[in-house]
Amino acid sequence: MFKAIFPTLGRFRLFIQVAMLLLTVYGANVVGFYMAEKISNALPALSCAYDQQNGAYCVLIPTQHVFHHRIGEALVKAEQITVQMVMPLVFTLITFFTFFFVLSKAFCGWICPLGTIQDLVNKLGRRFNLPLRRFENGSVSKVRPVKWLMLIVLVLALPLLTGMGVTPHSLGNPYCDICPSRIATTLLTGSTEQMALRGGGIEFALGAIANTLIGFTLVAAFAVRQPFCRICPMLSFNATFQRLSPMRLVKKQHDKCDKCGICAKACPMDIHEIAREHGSKAYHEDCTLCGRCVEFCPDDGVIQMKWGPLALFSSSREYYKQRMKGEMPDGTVKIVAAARKPESGAEHA
């Protein structure tokens, strides 16, 4: 009988099609809208959602709604976040890592304008024979965590909390507001605008801290080498990625190491580990790759500044002798008076 009603598969398919048409279009009148919605929503077939008498809608309708009102809007917001915030940061980091790959932490020791200013002020102090204060191993260890605290709190945490609406808008870039380099470099252009105290509350307090920091840095630099560099968040930021660059400090193990201690005395950051450690341990987180330890090492090839396998500068006994003729490891300049020629009268006396 089945074959008599449906002699071909095509006839059977047509019957099913008509039955499903009736179900999806008028089925809600029979089984109720709630049941029809559940049935048709589960069927992977098309059914118009705008016919009030149908069996609700197919799976593509909620899919479209989700993509429209949920995923689409979320992507728009994500695109705004990506284009307006993430992408500028990505390009900034790409540029940073490109330069960092080449120079590593030599940024601090060779390029940073505030580091240069501190060096010049310290040299001036040596010219006037002002006493030089060095940090001993115990005291310098207490100072080192400050730069990490500055990075985490001022550069990362407070701006993030401000963006989330937790902290006031005036804390959006707190480190820049207190950075002594901002004031120092603008003062060199003849502008005093950055020293002006503005507003009140937090903004006024940040300005006051900035003026205090630049004053402290310049005065302290007469007696301490690189006073602000020791707590600078840029140094900790660079130290985080120092292993990503082939530019680094390398020290070979030597029998005389940790006996003369000249390299540690020459280090403007008072890195005492340079005299004791060798290999990768000698390349400390506070190292700015200034090269003074290489200059004042009295043995050939013990300390090197290298870029990959290429040695850019190596310690040398002869170079050390020449260097010591003009300057002591602590930066004190030797002033050698020129021998006076005897007067013509004295020659015949």
Q: What is the pLDDT of residue 12?
A: 81
The residue ranges of every structural domain in the chain are 2-58, 104-237, 246-326
Tokens 């040596």 belong to residue = 126
Find, among 138, 148, 149, 142, the residue nearest to 272 by Cα.
Answer: 138
Residue that wins the pLDDT comparison between 60 and 50: 60
User: Residue 314 forms beta bridges with which residues?
Assistant: 304
Question: Could you write out the three-class secondary structure of 155-196?
Answer: HHHHHHHHHCCCCCHHHCCHHHHHCHHHHHHHHHCCCCHHHC
Q: What is the pLDDT of residue 153?
A: 93
pLDDT per position as a tens digit, 224-252: 999 999 999 999 999 999 989 999 999 98
**Does residue 348 carry a pLDDT above 80?**
no
Dist CA 204 CA 17 (whole Å): 77
Q: What is the pLDDT of residue 337?
A: 43
State the pLDDT confidence band at 35, using cuts at 50, 70 and 90: low
Report helix, strand or coil for 336: coil
Q: What is the pLDDT of residue 341?
A: 46
Dist CA 237 CA 151 (whole Å): 7
Dist CA 242 CA 233 (whole Å): 14
Q: What is the pLDDT of residue 212?
A: 95
Dist CA 257 CA 159 (whole Å): 45
Dist CA 248 CA 172 (whole Å): 34
Q: What is the pLDDT of residue 13?
A: 80
Quick check: 109 and 290 in contact, CB under 8 A?
yes
Q: What is the pLDDT of residue 207?
A: 93
- The number of residues in the chain equals 349
The phi, psi pair for 298, rounded to 5°, reads -85, 10
pLDDT per position as a tens digit, 154-203: 999 999 899 888 899 889 889 989 999 989 998 888 888 888 888 788 99
Find, among 313, 304, 289, the residue nearest to 100 by Cα.
Answer: 289
User: Residue 247 forms beta bridges with which residues?
Assistant: 307
Q: What is the mean pLDDT of residues 310-334?
A: 88
Dist CA 141 CA 261 (whole Å): 18
CA triplet 284, 265, 125: central angle to 5 degrees? 110
Lowest mean pLDDT segment, chosen from 173-182, 274-283, 319-328: 274-283
